[in-house]
Amino acid sequence: MLKFPKNFHIGASMSAMQTEGKGITEIGDLTFDAYFKENPELFYHGVGPDLTSDITRHYKDDIAKFKYIGLDSVRTGFSWARLFPDGINLNKEAVKFYHDYIDEYFKNDIEIIMTLFHFDMPLWAHELGGWESREVIEKFISYCEFVFKQYGSKIDYFVTFNEPLVPVFEGYVGKMHYPAKDSPKEAVAQAYGIFLAHAKAVKLFKELKIDSKIGVVYNWNFTFPFSDSAEDKISAEIYDAYVNRGPLNIMYNGNINPIIIKTLEEYNITPFHTSEEIEIIKQTKIDFLGVNYYFPCRVKTNENVKNRWALDQMHIEIPADAKINPFRGWEIYPEGLYDISIAIKEELNNIPWYIAENGMGVENEDRFRNVNGQIDDDYRIEFLETHMSELKRGLDAGSNCFGYHIWAAIDCWSFRNAYKNRYGLIEVDLKDQSRKFKKSAYWYKELIENKE
Ligand code: BG6
């Protein structure tokens, strides 16, 4: 079995919206509540975001289960809409809930990493224009200030944004998140607002001298050209600038790739910005990086292009002989974790980093239930083993990686897919919200016990 060093963190991820649902305190509506209300048929089996894994009621038992597995760290998040349901007034019950919740991790010796924004846009903020609105950004910064001051002494790692551009691509060109538009110009304006909000949150955190660390969790689904052709290489470079290294670098140290500036100008979609804002962005300096890795992006040039923005020139294609997770349609390529490890070492000054998400979502796991009622998820064990081996290779080559978190600690609700693809080490039975370890939980436990 794989052996990681004793001080290497092995844990699991979740997010607020995907586990809390409406929960035990008041919470303001999110864009996903509106989406579900307007189009319930778009959600797998008509399951919306109301209940999810109901963790605000189950957290004591769930954390006991995390402890049993041996997780030394867990990432979840604060819900902006729970702490400030209308964006203005503080919800005191929510403040208490998060103290109790965090304390429970503490009692169990589990370090907690808290995300401030994980796709959970309050509806009021969206109605004000989302991240394009400077008013929304200021409200976000007030929420951050509250959280830093209130919980700063209890949290070792704060994450500003999880996969910052996913709600932008999925909501403004991909039609998977609210408001399901198809407008590159708006996508770019929303993305810029996120960069600004991130930079301001990091700046505030440093000014407040909070005694913990701040970073971002970026979905670095490593870029490769699909072929050796000159066209695919250029497309991959542009794709990387827009989707992978480009935004990641802006959030890492405020470095804006000239390809982005040039191509936005070419298509006349440069977002509104001021020189003061750009200065704030350029001063960004995070303490650590979280990387979510699920699949590689093999970029192929399009023959017919819509030509509204640079990304219209290309698409992602999976090679015919590649291994694939058919339930999610994602290529399985563990070697990507080694590539990321080396890229961080060589390109990002070997910043302390960890795998914040990596995992395998499978549909109808009931098929794999054994006579004792346990799901024998050998495919997940294989996924973990192959990916973690590649990460270990990166560690051995000197990459400054301090941990690995599987997505997910427990089955989570997933946006339009709801509970279609299950990712957890722990199964959630939607009939009665009961929980059961899957085989992978015992494998993970052994892996953790095997550290030396
Ligand atoms: C990441 C997100 O994109 O991948 C999670 O940070 C998400 O929120 C996970 O659940 C798995 O993707 P999906 O879409 O299958 O749930």
Residue having the nearest C-alpha atom to atom 16 of ligand 1: 414
Centre of ligand 1 from the C-alpha of residue 414, in Å: 7
- Residue 410 backbone dihedrals phi, psi, to 5 degrees: -140, 155
pLDDT at residue 244 in the model: 98
For the chain, the straight-line distance linking the first and the last C-alpha, in angstroms and rounded, comes to 12
d(CA 167, CA 379): 29
d(CA 255, CA 194): 15
Query: pLDDT tens digits for 214-229?
Result: 999 999 999 999 999 9
Instruction: For residue 407, give the ligand 1 atom closest to its CA.
Output: 9
Please identify which residue in the block is written with the tokens 């909070």.
Answer: 210
Confidence of residue 376 (pLDDT cuts 50, 70, 90): very high
Confidence of residue 117 (pLDDT cuts 50, 70, 90): very high
Query: pLDDT tens digits for 412-443?
Result: 999 999 999 999 999 999 999 999 999 999 99
Query: pLDDT tens digits for 250-266?
Result: 999 999 999 999 999 99
Q: What DSSP string runs through 321-373?
A: TS-EETTTTEE--THHHHHHHHHHHHHSTT--EEEEE----EE-GGGGB-TTS
Confidence of residue 445 (pLDDT cuts 50, 70, 90): very high
pLDDT at residue 24 in the model: 98
Centre of ligand 1 from the C-alpha of residue 99, in Å: 26
CA torsion angle for 227, 232, 235, 237 (degrees, to 10)? 60
Which stretches of 225-352 are DSSP H helices? 230-243, 245-253, 258-266, 275-282, 335-347
pLDDT at residue 114 in the model: 98
Centre of ligand 1 from the C-alpha of residue 294, in Å: 9
- Does the structure show a pLDDT above 90 at 175? no
Q: What DSSP string runs through 365-408?
A: GGGGB-TTS-B--HHHHHHHHHHHHHHHHHHHTT--EEEEEEE-
pLDDT at residue 180 in the model: 96
Query: pLDDT tens digits for 264-314?
Result: 999 999 999 999 999 999 999 999 999 999 999 999 999 877 889 999 999
Q: Return mean pLDDT, the chain.
A: 98
Closest CA to 226 of 301, 154, 160: 301
- Residue 135 backbone dihedrals phi, psi, to 5 degrees: -65, -40
**Whether 450 contacts 2, CB under 8 Å:** yes
What would the mean pLDDT of 308-324 be, rounded to a whole number? 97
Closest CA to 111 of 73, 77, 159: 73
Instruction: For residue 421, give the ligand 1 atom closest to its CA.
Output: 15
pLDDT at residue 305 in the model: 79
Query: pLDDT tens digits for 227-240?
Result: 999 999 999 999 99
Residues with catalytic roles: 163, 357
pLDDT at residue 304 in the model: 79
- Collapsing DSSP to helix, strand or coil, 67 comes out as helix
pLDDT at residue 137 in the model: 98
Task: For a ligand 1 pocket test, name from 120, 423, 428 the mutation site with the most ligand atoms within 8 angstroms of its C-beta.
Answer: 423
d(CA 215, CA 133): 23
Instruction: For residue 423, give the ligand 1 atom closest to its CA.
Output: 11
What would the mean pLDDT of 325-331 be, rounded to a whole number? 97
The pocket around ligand 1, CB under 6 angstroms, is made up of 15, 18, 162-163, 166, 219, 292, 328, 357, 361, 407, 412, 414-415, 417, 421
Percentage of the chain with pLDDT > 90?
98
Beta bridge pairs of residue 10: 404
